[in-house]
């Protein structure tokens, strides 16, 4: 994979960077989104493919991108297709920082060291070339404004931006409500992006451990004496027209001190 084109994880992270504060919007859900964006990028590169709600490796040959190839190798070692929701919900320690450091090495952002309350060290990231971020944003704006089906890469980026809750960051206030709605609707234009985006929202809403019931089994009667499965309302938050719930994290001031 050539490096002349930015990957979807890189573009998602650049979208999330706040130019005023140097911090990333929706940091907890963004971590999930980056893991999902890797899956979409690997799919576009022909390395993996959806298998129902699972992800299957179809070509284990490396892409040339070290971070993507690490994810590809982990998927290959599974030996069998893995549910997208389980993959995205797995531990991804340091993934956001890995991509921030990569963007810094590429000269797209620069790190600014500081302190919080004069004690806690912080690191903020400022875009060095705002034209790149404007170009990414303009692709989303164009798809929202024109209604023309976007290319798969832009459609997947829009789906992930919605899934991690960037809609209010990109299109704030009441005036941005219709744009946020259309951003959500772009999820339908890329099957892989839609699968991954719904998996990201499922993880946020705490339904990662519940396999989806197929239509063939959904209407089967329960064995006599068996307790019916507990009903959950969390899944409804991932339906079209609803904004994904954000996970509850007791991060506190210490976690917020690191702005990546």
Query: Which 3-state string (H, E, C) describes 40-96?
Result: HHHHHCCCEEEECCEEEECCCCCCCCHHHHHHHHHHHHHCCCEEHHHHHHCCCCCHH
Whether 254 shows a pLDDT value over 80: the answer reads no
Whether 101 shows a pLDDT value over 70: the answer reads yes
Distances (CA, A) of 158 to 20, 31, 139, 169, 249: 22, 16, 9, 13, 25
Confidence bin at 158 (pLDDT 50/70/90): very high
**The pLDDT value given to residue 25:** 86
**The pLDDT value given to residue 49:** 96
Is the model more confident about 77 or about 92? 77
Indicate the DSSP class of residue 224: T
Task: Tell me the Cα Rg of the chain.
Answer: 19
**The pLDDT value given to residue 14:** 93
The rounded percent of the chain whose pLDDT value lies above 70 is: 77
pLDDT (tens digit per residue) in 167-213: 999 999 999 999 999 999 998 888 999 999 999 999 999 875 555 44
CA distance 125 to 168: 20
Confidence bin at 113 (pLDDT 50/70/90): confident
Structure tokens at 236: 């409804």
**The pLDDT value given to residue 149:** 86
Task: Quote the mean pLDDT of the chain.
Answer: 80
Indicate the DSSP class of residue 128: S
Q: What does pTM read for this prediction?
A: 0.75
Structure tokens at 140: 């989303």
Per-residue pLDDT averaged across 92-106, rounded?
87
pLDDT (tens digit per residue) in 12-63: 999 999 877 788 888 889 999 999 999 999 999 999 999 999 999 999 999 9
Whether 242 shows a pLDDT value over 70: the answer reads no
156-191 burial: b if 16+ Cβ within 10 Å, else e: bbbbbbbbbbbbebbbeeeeeeebbbbbbbbbebbe
Longest dimension (CA), the chain: 65
Is the model more confident about 228 or about 148? 148
Whether 99 shows a pLDDT value over 70: the answer reads yes
Please state at what angle helix 152-163 crosses helix 27-44, rounded to 10 degrees. Answer: 160
Per-residue pLDDT averaged across 154-165, rounded?
95
């Amino acid at each position: 994979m050539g490096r002349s084109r930015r990957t979807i994880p890189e573009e998602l992270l650049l979208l999330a960077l706040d130019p005023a504060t140097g911090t990333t919007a929706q940091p907890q859900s963004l971590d999930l989104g980056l893991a999902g964006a890797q899956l979409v990028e690997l799919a576009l590169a022909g390395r993996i493919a959806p298998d129902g709600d699972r992800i299957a490796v179809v070509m284990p040959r490396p892409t040339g991108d070290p971070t993507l190839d690490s994810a590809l190798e982990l998927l290959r070692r599974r030996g069998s297709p893995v549910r997208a929701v389980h993959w995205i919900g797995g531990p991804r320690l340091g993934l956001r920082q890995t991509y921030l450091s990569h963007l810094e090495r590429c000269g797209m952002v620069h790190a600014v060291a500081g302190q919080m309350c004069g004690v806690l060290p912080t690191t903020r990231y400022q875009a060095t070339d705002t034209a790149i971020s404007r170009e990414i944003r303009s692709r989303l704006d164009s798809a929202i404004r024109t209604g023309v089906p976007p290319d798969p890469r832009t459609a997947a980026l829009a789906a992930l931006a919605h899934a991690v809750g960037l809609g209010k960051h990109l299109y704030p206030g009441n005036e941005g409500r219709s744009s946020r709605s259309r951003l959500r609707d772009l999820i339908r234009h890329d099957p892989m992006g839609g699968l991954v985006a719904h998996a990201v929202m499922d993880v946020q809403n705490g339904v990662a451990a519940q396999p989806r019931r197929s239509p063939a089994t959904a209407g089967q009667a329960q064995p006599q004496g068996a307790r019916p499965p507990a009903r959950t309302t969390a899944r409804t938050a991932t339906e079209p027209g609803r904004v994904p719930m954000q996970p509850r994290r007791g991060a506190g001031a210490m976690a917020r001190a690191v702005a990546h």
